A and B are shown apart, each in its own frame.
Chain A
């Protein structure tokens, strides 16, 4: 099976951040591979190990995103396409979905895997947009993948339970990080990744009109969350504090 996995470079949510006059200031060096995409890569690698095939990653991003691509290659992906962006564009999920769809238009593949959401913005839109643009069968929020008789069988997490869905190929699927623990590249993988091919592609070569990529949505500013009043910590003899807090929930917080 031929897997294309869409991977995104995102800011590390653990990196210190601050907001100044509505602008978000973060260390530009602290970028990571989106955790959900790492799960998608992992799952594709497992399926490739079982059934054979090829895993190629696709990333739209600035030059620095090559580090993110290397990470996926070090995990074991076979090759990569880097669709170059300057990083200054104000793209939203719809813009990325259009670029990805244009890239996939003339490609052959069985499965396009994506993350279920970007861990910095939690949008969760790109996957189903790509599927719609390419008229592919798809599912979202996969927590398990299997290949059976050339079809993709997806276990998806729904609102109250899980659904087993069978998709003919080619198809698209967005992956939850609850699916697996992505492998941490070992040193041999890191070394091998350097020799794996990264195809660099300009957006302009994909035959899309720049104006079409202009985002309909725009982040106008950032702000702090309304702070939660830090509460009180009760330390001491378990029995005593347990009863004390139970009482307070009734008399003070009024939630019993």
Chain B
């Protein structure tokens, strides 16, 4: 077949675009299909893209004034909340000012579109300038299988053929299920819903309020009162002249407690800490998206099969362990590794599992799988009631006493702490928690 591709990539999110970039750079003939009107048009992330893989894909990306990224992170904060107070662990370091940055805040509709433009440039510079494509506004309906090996895709009436298919379809893993790599049924307690508002300020006001310097930015995660008793957490990231403020909430818990995500977000926004942070801002966008809990119990059966590789959130590569949501960096790395495996497969002219299993090995050797396996206990821990409610309350209670100065004798802080623990939990519970946490973090 003359117009057969080396590879078809399904989905133009971070994972798909990273794969496409790697394919283009390695002179492969490929087709990337994205169902949105343009790459990023449907994507929602908080979002901080952690790690330095972006620099691999687009070397010195920071030199582009108006690139796809908004700010680099040099200030991180984890906040425990109760009804009136917040207690933060705050870390700022000029170490993070060095390039490549350890994390950049991105707005997906802008970032993905920008990255797709970079992929197009790589295509234009490749031998297949006329034969590789990024096609948008087209939805893949089916992966065409022959003898349980992927040979192409179908969209509407049209069929396109390729030696390999990279599935980068994100969390709605319909095709992953169609090809049999994921069970038909993923239980709701492994699903979260992410909701987010983009709130605009005058850039100067934003920079003053969050103490930003040049293009530096802050990421802030929240636990406790933020979610109104629903399993999950909150986040606030600074973009150029907006902030992304949102929550990630357990679907099952929402359903059982009969709460609507939007109402919980409004609850969050009423907390004095948040109310102060967003004062004077104008909500310019609201979006919602499902996200997996990153629990390895819902990992796909395998990351490959004959002619197929699974990347990004389609493969449930995600971590949601309290200190941050990580998904885009895993998506990026998995896309790169998958494409590299396809390049090897082409050299050997063998696209069966025999070659594609190399991808699994690369993943196991990478930080991605090490993280995901290593921090499973932390993920489980985060989603317990102790961590979700008792700890934040306790910490805030202690903070309130520790920092209040009254005209009476001040108790020793140890006594305050013990008092706080008794009111919100028990020493025994915390000892258990500490033990678990030490193991899991």
Contacts and interface: CB of A to CB of B under 8 A. Distances in A.
Report whether chain A binds chain B: yes
B138 A187 contact: yes
Interface string A121-161: 00000000000000000000000000000000000000000
Interface of B: 3, 31, 33, 38, 66, 110, 113-114, 117, 130, 133, 135, 137-138, 155-156, 158, 160, 200, 284-285
Contacts of A185: 137
Contacts of B158: 186-188
Contacts of B130: 194-195
A190 B156 CA distance: 15
B135 A190 contact: yes
B113 A29 contact: yes
A29 B108 CA distance: 13
A207 interface: no
Contacts of B110: 27, 29
B414 to A, nearest CB: 52
Interface in A13-69: 16, 18, 27-30
Contacts of A30: 38, 113
Contact of B114 (A18, A29, A187): A29
A16 B135 contact: no
A185 B136 CA distance: 10
14 contacts: A16-B284, A16-B285, A29-B38, A29-B110, A29-B117, A186-B138, A186-B158, A187-B133, A187-B135, A187-B158, A187-B160, A191-B3, A194-B130, A194-B133
A8 B285 CA distance: 28
Interface string A179-204: 00000111110110011000000000
Given A27-B110, A29-B110, A29-B114, A187 B155 contact: yes
Contacts of B155: 186-187
Nearest to B110: A27
Interface string A158-187: 000000000000000000000000001111
- Chain A contact-residue range equals 10 to 19
Nearest to A15: B109
A186 B133 contact: no
Contact of B156 (A18, A27, A186, A195): A186
Tell me the dominant secondary structure on chain A's binding face: loop
B5 to A, nearest CB: 11
Interface in A183-234: 184-188, 190-191, 194-195
A27 B112 CA distance: 13
Given A27-B110, A29-B117, A191 B133 contact: yes
B70 to A, nearest CB: 12
B83 to A, nearest CB: 30
Contacts of B160: 187
Nearest to A31: B38
Contacts of B156: 186
A207 B66 CA distance: 36
A184 B114 contact: no
B157 to A, nearest CB: 8
Contacts of B137: 184-185
A16 B3 CA distance: 39
Nearest 3 pairs between A and B by C-beta? A190-B135, A29-B113, A187-B135
Contacts of A195: 130
A13 to B, nearest CB: 13
B210 to A, nearest CB: 19
B135 A18 contact: no
Contacts of A188: 158
A18 B133 contact: no
Given A18-B284, A29-B38, A195-B130, 8 more contacts: A16-B285, A186-B138, A186-B155, A186-B158, A187-B138, A187-B155, A188-B158, A191-B133
A191 B38 CA distance: 17
A184 to B, nearest CB: 6
A28 to B, nearest CB: 8
A152 B117 CA distance: 41
A16 B138 CA distance: 23
A242 to B, nearest CB: 27
B138 A18 contact: no
A18 B201 CA distance: 11
A208 B121 CA distance: 34
